[in-house]
Amino acid sequence: MLRSKYLNRLTLLPAVVSLILFSAVGYANNSGEFENERLVCEMRQGYNINYINGQYGTTVLNTIFSTNAYLLQTQSGVDIESLATVIALDPAVLYCGPNYYLDAPEPFQRSSPFLDNQAIGTFENQPAAETLLLSDAQTVATGTAVKVGIIDTGLNFDHPQFVAKTSHVHSGYDFVDDDIDANDEPGGVASGHGTFVAGAIALVAPGAELYAYRTLDTLGRGNGYTIARAIVKAVDDGCQIINLSLGLRGRHEAIHDAIDYAESLGVVVVAAAGNDSTGDENLFPFPALKSSVIAVAALDSLNLKADFSNWGKKVDLCAPGTRVYAPHLDSLYAWWDGTSFSAPLVAGVAALMLQIDPNLTADAIDSVLAETATDIDAINPLYAGDLGRGLVNPSAALAALTGFTCGDANGTNNLNISDAIFIINYIFAGGPPPVPSMAGDCDCSGTLSISDAIVIINYIFANSDPPCANCP
Ligand SMILES: [Ca+2]
Ligand SMILES: [Ca+2]
Ligand SMILES: [Ca+2]
Ligand SMILES: [Ca+2]
């Protein structure tokens, strides 16, 4: 989509589109295609959408009130790109563009699921579970009651893996068929993709509550406006984590703003880094491209970069992404490769963390995951510095949340007046919160307040009891 202040980029667009169409064998992740007779626009402050409708003959089909995005119906037969360019020039408009499609990366590239029902226990004991040492991490947390939104092809609610296990699956909404049943429908190359993603989250966080938002059809394709709507609905439904195993090349303003809305409310957004086998930032898919999103690349069973996985400075973390074993359609399981299945493993780790500390901010989760990840540059010399902070480490991330000293609010491993100042800055000056938040809860009240700082001050200057000394 085109922000009117970046008009000089318009002239480049045809050249960029043809480059996408004719380069990178197998690349179809962003074909540059969009919905017919639809535009996605936002007005500048003080302007009304009726002005645009009056000028350009459009009508409003839908509004995302949380982000002020409009889906507009155009008159039939108009050239959508030309009209978008004209409207984007209007000073009343913040952005206006075609409603581009996003795709799940696997169906359009090299990776199909291999249906295969192994013995009971194969799921829990699969290579990815061994790599991530999940049985250790799950002695600490299983993600109980943490809500995770999955924006994908839907979910096979009747699969025995979900029926039998503690993970609870819920239908968020089916935006494809516009009904309340987000069942993962059969019949296309992407059927089962959302179920598989959900399975990867459940592998890491079997106690999590999984909410499916069906936005991709059975071919793995969905339009950006609908995906933005689904993100906002997931946030409004109380999801604390959102998984996006989908992308397009470029940027979609409505999705960008929906993710900002999610993050403003503390929701963690995780996205697949894409399967284009490229390190070129210009080819890196959105929304993984958005800095605040946790972009996850795929590793093979030896923790080497998977051949299909993207890499580069936009990658935050890596997770297993080859031979992942997870539920598919009917009662079947499958083996499947792709960064789509690496992202939900990280989303699952975030769910474990949020069970331990429900007050963790998205920023805190991001930084704890980064700080505790295992550096794999030495075994990936060609990609050194281009695999984010390395392989996600669930046990280390949880240890960072549980192995704290009460009162050491700033995490320096000692207790002094700067910890009281850190708490005061958090409460009164918008400073960063203690990580974990319990590290600052010196009176064990369950919340952070000025009394926690006073406990520290009295301990240091008045020989009172140390932080947490009087806790149950
Ligand atoms: Ca349905
Ligand atoms: Ca990022
Ligand atoms: Ca300290
Ligand atoms: Ca407190």
Secondary structure of 189-251 in the HEC alphabet? Answer: CCCCHHHHHHHHHHHHCCCCEEEEEECCCCCCEEEHHHHHHHHHHHHHCCCCEEEECCEEECC
Residue 14 — pLDDT band, cuts 50, 70, 90?
A: very low
Tell how far the Cα of 418 is from the centroid of ligand 3, in angstroms.
6
Chain segment 408-425, per-residue pLDDT in tens: 999 898 999 999 999 999
Question: Same topology for domains 2-100 and 405-462, yes or no?
Answer: no
- Asked whether the predicted pLDDT for residue 8 surpasses 50, the reply is no
pLDDT (average), residues 182-204: 97
Crossing angle of helices 343-356 and 362-372, in 10° steps, is 110
Tell how far the Cα of 226 is from the centroid of ligand 1, in angstroms.
15
Distant-in-sequence, close-in-space partners of 432: CB < 8 Å, separation ≥ 6 = 363, 364, 426
Note if the pTM is more than 0.85: yes
Fold that domain 2-100 belongs to in CATH? Alpha-Beta Plaits (3.30.70)
Q: How far apart are CA 260 and CA 365, in angstroms?
A: 16
Chain segment 120-159, per-residue pLDDT in tens: 899 999 999 999 999 999 999 999 999 999 999 999 999 9
As beta bridge partners, residue 213 has: 151, 173
**CATH number, span 106-401:** 3.40.50.200
Fold that domain 405-462 belongs to in CATH? Type 1 dockerin domain (1.10.1330)
pLDDT (average), residues 249-275: 95
pLDDT (average), residues 324-351: 97
Q: How far apart are CA 85 and CA 39, in angstroms?
A: 11
Q: How far apart are CA 339 and CA 196, in angstroms?
A: 12
Mean pLDDT computed over every residue of the chain: 90
Predicted local confidence at residue 1, as pLDDT: 43
Q: How far apart are CA 169 and CA 372, in angstroms?
A: 29
Nearest ligand for residue 173 CA: 1
Quick one: what percent of the chain has pLDDT higher than 90? 81
Predicted local confidence at residue 437, as pLDDT: 81
Closest CA to 213 of 241, 182, 188: 182
Lowest mean pLDDT among 76-80, 113-117, 143-147, 329-333: 113-117
Nearest ligand for residue 184 CA: 1
Tell how far the Cα of 182 is from the centroid of ligand 1, in angstroms.
5
Quick one: what percent of the chain has pLDDT higher than 70? 93
403 burial type by CB count under 10 A (0-12 exposed, 13-18 middle, 19+ buried): exposed
Where do the structural domains in the chain lie, given as residue ranges? 2-100, 106-401, 405-462
pLDDT (average), residues 327-355: 97
Tell how far the Cα of 267 is from the centroid of ligand 1, in angstroms.
26
pLDDT (average), residues 292-304: 97
Closest CA to 296 of 255, 241, 257, 253: 241
pLDDT (average), residues 245-272: 95
Nearest ligand for residue 174 CA: 1
Predicted local confidence at residue 165, as pLDDT: 67
Active site residues: 152, 193, 340
Give the three-state DSSP class for 3. Answer: strand
